[in-house]
Chains A and B, each alone.
Chain A
Amino acid sequence: MVTAVRRMLPVVGLVAVLLLIWEGSKVLFGISDQRLPHLGDIVTTMFTRTQGGNGPLLLVQMLINAWATLRVAMGGFFIGGLLGFGLALLFMRMPILERGLMPYVIGSQTVPILAIAPMVVVGLGRMGAEPWVAKIFVAAYLTFFPVTIGMLRGLRSASPQSLDLMRSYAASSLQTFWKLRLPASLPYLFASLKIAASASVIGAIVAELPSGSSEGIGVMILNAAQFYNSRPPALYLAILVAGLIGVVFYGLVALAERLIVKR
């Protein structure tokens, strides 16, 4: 506990210094509120009402939209994660399949899904799919690749000696999987899940950018940017919340790792 506080101290210190620079540079260089609002203004903006004073608090609205984005990211993460996990198992069991399909798995990443996200959204929308389908597709696409690669590497990480040991016990391949390969692969799996968590949030946000989307933090960012002149702090708040979504999701995966992988 004490060590955790001691480790956080320099981080908190640095953040404090950065915030000081923020306010200090406003004073020193005379940066207008229009370009760089006061930190206090960003806080007070959270508690202003939306829709001309009749809607919910801005912070509440932001969080509702953040939840919409996080939901999409989690959905895609879940589907992509399962797919990646399944592919890795399949590839480990059947090396023939790996030799045949792995190049396509790797090749799939040469298509920059983020760049084609607008087309996926518009195209799938035209086919009559719900908007969330395309968003989840993008997030899942970004998730499955790191998970496949990480999990496969993890499943292969058991040392030859430990495999020989299992063999000497005449352990079945299922036993070898549960007692050796799976536990050995967990650190690798979680390393890739953490990468995937951030990627799926980015995917969800970018998939919200094409015109026509109605909810999500990406939409909030676009709106706040459009009406920046009337209320600058809102954009800062939206970006802050977007960052928060990434950190929260990453944190959840890291927490799951803590609970599952006991070292």
Chain B
Amino acid sequence: MQATTVSTPAVRSTDQVAKWFHILWPPVLTFLVAIALWEGAVWLFEIPIYLLPAPSQIMATFLERPWFLLGIGMVTFSNALMGSAIGCSLGVLVAIFCVRWTFVADGLLPLAVAASAVPIIALSPLMGIWLGSVSAASKIGVIAVMTFFPTLVSVYAGLISPRADALLLMRSYAAPQRDVFLKLRMPAALPFLFNALRVCATLSMIGAVVAEFFGGPRNALGVYIKTQAGILRTREAWSAIMVACLYGLIFYLVIVLIERWVMPWKQRHSGQ
């Protein structure tokens, strides 16, 4: 009966800080140790710079032109964002169709599962031909396809997740289909949707970078990484990768924040 332990706001906020500290310090410490090990290893074993530059060198290279790198990162990131917005919304819409008309699900879901085994990134050059190889549209197209299938599979699983009892309850109220959908299926699918969104957040940023390996505008991260790596300017390439990671992380964290806000009933679960 946790609900009976009501704590005063003051106690609660210090609790909160302690809790966050407790959650955060191991990964932060690990991160710092890892960076130190990396730095040490590069100097100690004299790893050639074209193979693996030290973190300090990467950081220094980044700081030489931070706005340039963040700028081209933004170009790639906006592709990732647009692509996943399109792919995920379509995924949700089609999942709803699949629940309404089950014959669509019978045909489409096996294909969607198979699509997870397909290297969708290989579509990039084709998208380039349809939508222009240096245009943003072709990258957005690849990301949209890439995020569409996992969202569809996951959200569909969520929409059909309510157990027989929960559906019978609705039946006993003679609830109209609309209510069954809005009050039962949709909220039940939310955790599944956010699982998919978190996967897509990670997938889409890397996907956007790799899609640009097949060609893209000069001021984009993927093209920059590929050209710099090609002429063995590894520090430059690594600093660009750092920027890609940064954007990917921000995307992921924003999704997690929205998730906490949209699903307050889950929050207390993970409070341990």
Residue ranges of A at the interface with B (Cβ–Cβ < 8 Å) = 7, 10-11, 13-15, 35, 103-104, 107, 110-112, 114-119, 122-124, 126-127, 194, 197-198, 201-202, 205-206, 209-211, 217-218, 221-222, 224-225, 228, 232, 235-236, 238-239, 242-243, 245-247, 249-251
Q: Are B244 and A126 in contact (CB under 8 A)?
A: no
Closest 6 CB pairs of A and B: A14-B107, A225-B125, A250-B117, A10-B107, A10-B106, A103-B30
Per-position 1/0 for B1-43, Cβ under 8 A of A: 0000000000000000000000000110011001000000000
Q: Which residues of A contact B237 (CB under 8 A)?
A: 116, 118-119
Give the secondary structure class of A's interface: helix
**Distance, CA A246 to CA B121, complexed state (A):** 12
Q: Are B125 and A13 in contact (CB under 8 A)?
A: no
| Interface residue? B225 (CB, 8 A) | yes
In the complex, residue of chain A having the shortest beta-carbon distance to the beta carbon of B226 = A118
Chain A: minimal CB distance from B1 (Å)? 25
Q: Are B232 and A239 in contact (CB under 8 A)?
A: no
| Interface residue? B210 (CB, 8 A) | yes
Q: Are A210 and B30 in contact (CB under 8 A)?
A: no
Chain B: minimal CB distance from A112 (Å)? 5
Q: Which residues of B contact A123 (CB under 8 A)?
A: 48, 50-52, 232, 234
| Interface residue? B177 (CB, 8 A) | no
Q: Are B213 and A112 in contact (CB under 8 A)?
A: no
CB within 8 Å of A: which B218-249 residues: 222, 225-226, 229-230, 232, 234, 237-238, 241, 244-245, 248-249
Q: Are A115 and B241 also in contact (CB < 8 A) when A221-B125, A246-B117, A246-B118 are?
A: yes
| Interface residue? B60 (CB, 8 A) | no
Q: Are A112 and B121 in contact (CB under 8 A)?
A: no
In the complex, residue of chain A having the shortest beta-carbon distance to the beta carbon of B128 = A225
Q: Are B30 and A115 in contact (CB under 8 A)?
A: no
Chain A: minimal CB distance from B269 (Å)? 19
| Interface residue? B173 (CB, 8 A) | no
Q: Which residues of A contact B214 (CB under 8 A)?
A: 209, 222, 225
Q: Are A14 and B245 in contact (CB under 8 A)?
A: no
Per-position 1/0 for B102-136, Cβ under 8 A of A: 01001110110010111101110110111000000
Q: Are B129 and A127 in contact (CB under 8 A)?
A: no
